[in-house]
């Protein structure tokens, strides 16, 4: 291995050490450090073969964390994954594996956010709608989630 390749691998592994990264994120980082395209490709090949980069695993873990734990919408998470260089096909496969009910997820988001509110009567449905829309939920899913939230909690 040449010195430039070793340096690129060190930069990439250091970048990955903070959190898992996608192939695109690593490539962008190496480009920003002015490595040659040949060195970048060799580095990417090494990282993929060594399983430092796995976009499929990254997409699943990212989506699971953002959707299941943070209760964000599929639309918002899809946007985040696309920005990280994940293909539409891989995003769809990831969402198929997760089997998320958007209305239930939105309702749980509201329940968690307003857990300490003593009276639901003090909550404004329009405010709740704006909150859900800002989290990427569709208008129809948001309306159904708000209705369910007021009925069940």
Residue-wise pLDDT tens digits, 40-57? 999 999 999 999 999 999
Mean pLDDT of the chain: 92
What CATH number has the domain bearing residue 45?
Answer: 1.10.10.10
Q: What is the pTM of this model?
A: 0.84
Region 68-90: mean pLDDT is 95
pLDDT value at residue 1? 57
pLDDT value at residue 13? 96
pLDDT digits (tens, 9 = 90+) for 97-122: 998 899 999 999 999 888 877 777 77
Number of Cα atoms under 13 Å in the Cβ half of residue 114: 23
Total domains present in the chain? 3
* Judgement on whether residues 89 and 121 belong to the same structural domain of the protein: no
Please give the DSSP secondary-structure letter assigned to residue 70.
T
Q: Which domain holds residue 70?
A: 55-98
Nearest to 86, CA basis, from 97, 94, 76, 96: 94
* Judgement on whether residues 19 and 41 belong to the same structural domain of the protein: yes
């Amino acid at each position: 291995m040449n010195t430039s390749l070793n340096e690129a691998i060190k930069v990439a592994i250091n970048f990955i050490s903070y959190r898992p990264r996608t192939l695109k994120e690593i490539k962008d980082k190496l480009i920003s450090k002015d490595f040659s395209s040949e060195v970048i490709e060799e580095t990417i090949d090494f990282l993929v073969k060594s399983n430092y980069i796995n976009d499929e695993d990254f997409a699943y873990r990212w989506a699971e964390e953002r959707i299941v734990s943070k209760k964000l919408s599929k639309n918002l998470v899809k946007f985040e994954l696309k920005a990280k260089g994940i293909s539409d096909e891989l995003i769809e496969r990831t969402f198929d594996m997760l089997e998320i009910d958007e209305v239930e997820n939105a309702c749980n988001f509201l329940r968690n956010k307003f857990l300490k509110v003593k009276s639901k009567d003090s909550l404004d449905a329009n405010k709740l709608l704006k909150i859900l829309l800002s989290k990427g939920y569709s208008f129809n899913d948001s309306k159904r989630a708000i209705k369910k939230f007021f009925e069940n909690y």
